């Protein structure tokens, strides 16, 4: 079962590649509900925008192909993801 919120995410930023997938969308929604700003990266533009629009106001989308360094850098360096926090 997915929790309603994840403690400790308030004010953090996350980049989720594969963000338009079911798992990516669920993680984005959980992080957003927990107070994080989220950038979704995915190769599917239409679905990526759809998922971001439905996931909350702190979620944005950047078209990303993880096989291409340029688009991966664009995703992680986007205005919304200037500071990326990692979770351990």
Taking the chain (88 residues) in runs of 10, the rounded mean pLDDT of each run is: 73 86 88 90 92 89 78 60 38
Q: Which CATH superfamily is domain 13-81 in?
A: NAD(P)-binding Rossmann-like Domain (3.40.50.720)
Asked if residue 28 lies in contact with residue 51, where contact means CB atoms within 8 angstroms, the answer is yes
Which pLDDT belongs to residue 8?
81
Which residues are CB-contacts of 66 (< 8 A; sequence separation ≥ 6)? 17, 18, 41, 43, 72
Nearest CA-CA partner of 2 in 36, 30, 39: 30
Domain residue ranges of the chain, discontinuous segments joined by +: 13-81
For the chain, state the CA radius of gyration. Answer: 12
Grouping H, G, I as helix, E, B as strand and the rest as coil, residue 57 is coil
């Amino acid at each position: 079962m997915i929790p309603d919120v994840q403690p400790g995410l308030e004010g953090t930023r996350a980049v989720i590649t594969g963000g338009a997938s079911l798992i990516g969308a669920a993680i984005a929604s959980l992080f957003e509900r927990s107070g994080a700003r989220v950038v979704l990266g995915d190769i599917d533009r239409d679905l990526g925008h759809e998922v971001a629009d439905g996931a909350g106001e702190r979620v944005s989308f950047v078209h990303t192909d993880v096989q291409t360094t340029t688009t991966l850098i664009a995703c992680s360096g986007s205005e919304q993801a200037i500071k990326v926090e990692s979770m351990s």
